[in-house]
Amino acid sequence: MKEWAGLAVLALPTILLGLDVTILYLALPALAVELQPSSTQALWIMDAYGFMIAGFLITMGTLGDRVGRRRLLMVGAFAFAIASVFAAYAPNAEWLIVARAALGIAGATLMPSTLALISNMFFDQRQRALAIGIWATMFALGMALGPVVGGLLLAPFWWGAAFLIAVPIVTVLLLTAPLLLPEYRNPQAGRLDILSVLLLLIAILPSIYAIKEFSKAGVTPLVLVTLALGVVGTLLFVRRQKQLPDPLLDLKLFASKTFTAALFILLIGLVGVAGMMLLVTQYLQLVAGYTPLMAGLWMGPPALMMVLAGILAPLFARHIRPAFVITAALMLSSIGCGLLAQVDPLTVQVLQVVIGFSLVYLGLGTIAALGTDLVVGAAPAEKAGSASSMSEMVQELGVALGVALLGSMATLLYRVQIASAIPNGMPDDISRALGESLWATTSVAERLPEGMLEQAQSAFTQGMNMAATASGITILALALISAVTLRHVKEVGEESD
């Protein structure tokens, strides 16, 4: 029973990390009024956290194997709480971006440690699969509850309260972890190679920045330079890993086709889902007109679907091959995207949005649970930290890219639609707000001509429609890929072909 109590302890930082991915989705309009960020700053406030986690996850996962997974978990949790306090009291957008980046680095110490410790606590394959399913559900639940918790906190408090929730959670973790969690370190692990760490950052961060800038501005000299830097960094990193006796990332893990296919499914699946989460929460507030609290409560049914998928998927996988469970769930998600793509721009259709997004979350909960178990299960125990960090890196990267790509796609169509509707002679600040985004338009709603806000809401909904269409096509293709690439994996608890 001690291992299941330990799993409950590991659920605390897992939920916290999920919360921090999405809790600002509902706080963004209130934050925008006080800090007045530009559209670029607003995206960086949302993305800096996920980007820094993606950049440092592999390093921190390997570091945990060397210095101790429980020790790294506790140190990282303390740092996370401190960074959360700095974020809560940020006086301007620049400060908040830096604080979010610090939260990302601290969060990178937590994610691989929690998942790798599960492999040390559960040795039975079926128990481990269920434990990882619960773990993945907790992270997904945190993501889903972010808007709900944000809504509850924003009703009586200011936007910074969304960050302070980390303090009591970390306090409980620090008190219980020494009692219920085992310590593990790889006794044969060598020293951390600092050059590999630097090369990995050069490989990941410029590449992400290039994709982000391309989604906003197309092909520019800056995009080409940063993309080239990322490619060079990747090649040098891979070369360095092949030369080291104890590499930062063991490339031999990719020899397993299960490991590689599961990582790909996690990455693309999160890209398709994460951007829609941002758009749906904004729709509920800025188009449907709900308060943050009511918008958060409407996100409850999708959260429930994610929880059910995360818990039931590993149980179904005991009797049905994981490939078919994942494929079925992703096909339902594509249907959900279809419902979102058909939302009428001229009327408010909250029920259709919630039902569609609930189906989208059903697929997310399934791939988070089964995909993570396949990744960790394909690696030897001494490499669990490295495998866990890879799993989490692609998920965080998927969330960040989903927000950047689908969010930018929706914003682009919004700007195209609204540009022709802005009347001549409008004050410059109002014109800029209209052309910027719907949340900027809402902040000056009382100064807009009659009917202008409704036109902006319609343009936003059309952008959401287009993003949902792209997401649905991507998820449907991923469902077919899953059926092919994972068909060799047998039911949980049996040997694979």
Report pLDDT for 163.
Answer: 84
Average pLDDT across the chain, whole number: 82
Within the chain, all domains assigned CATH 1.20.1250.20 are found at 2-192+248-485
User: Which of 223 and 350 is assigned the larger pLDDT?
Assistant: 350
Question: Do you know the residue count of the chain?
Answer: 497
Read out DSSP for 47-61? HHHHHHHHHHHHHHH
- Distance between alpha carbon 287 and the CA centroid of its chain, in Å? 24
| Angle, vertex CA 461, rays to CA 50 and CA 161, nearest 5 | 40
Quick one: pLDDT band at residue 217, thresholds 50, 70, 90? Answer: low
Q: What is the mean pLDDT of residues 360-378?
A: 82
Q: What is the CATH architecture assignment of 2-192+248-485?
A: Up-down Bundle (1.20)
pTM equals 0.76
Nearest to 236 by CA among 190, 197, 210, 267: 197
- Cα–Cα distance measured from residue 30 to residue 45, given in angstroms and rounded to the nearest whole number: 13
- Condensed to tens digits (0 to 9), the pLDDT of residues 382-423 reads 666 667 777 777 777 777 678 777 877 888 888 888 877 777
Structure tokens, 248: 């930062």
- Condensed to tens digits (0 to 9), the pLDDT of residues 289-316 reads 887 678 777 888 888 888 888 888 888 8
Answer whether 367's CB lies under 8 Å from 269's CB: yes
**How far is residue 223 from each of residues 213, 227, 233, 359, 470, measured CA to CA in Å?**
6, 6, 15, 35, 23
